[in-house]
Structure 1
Amino acid sequence: MDQSKSDAAKTISNRSRASQIRIVPGTSESDVATQAPAKSRKPRASASEIAENKRIRAENKLRKEEKLAQDRESAKRKREANQIELENLKEFYASKRARTDPHLDPNG
């Protein structure tokens, strides 16, 4: 009984492994057993490629930080301009109201 369970487990295991193995024409069954799975990792990058990728990531990070700083400055300038515009509008409408409403006239 244990032997049949073991055989069944091996069969299931072999089926799942078989789904990962790519069969190359002209290979024997023993060669297939030693083949790497179809979804193997890509080869490790060389030291120069790793250094280049690090440099690119550092440049991208720096560019992103510079853009964020520019966006913050732009937002700050926009808020200041909006505040000045608001003050100017308040003064304009206050003076207009003072000219049209005799009760608000300080000389009257």
Structure 2
Amino acid sequence: MLSAMSGGRFKATCHRVVDTGVDRMSVPFFFEPNYDADISCIMPSGPVASSSTATTLQQFCGKKSKVAGGTQYGTWLIEKMRSFAEYRDILSEFKFGSSGSRA
């Protein structure tokens, strides 16, 4: 999500699960925007400056967002999930309203 919204400027931390053969407990935490949140533009368009010369976030992150204007988070999430074959059947079980929110 962050990569798409920042035009590839910011990327998620690489992470993986490794089976060490020892039982363990994991407490994951995920933070998401509201379903109807407009996620189209967190990054302005324009040339990208280096971190040493940028004086504003706009200068540092000047790449154009890859998320279309007016895109809602829920709509983006559903489309992203549909790109995975294992989620297609699950998504077909739910009905979504015109704004994308579950009806």
- TM-score tier (shorter): under 0.3
TM-score after normalising by structure 2: 0.16
Greater relative CO (CA pairs within 8 A, separation 6+): 2
TM-score after normalising by structure 1: 0.16
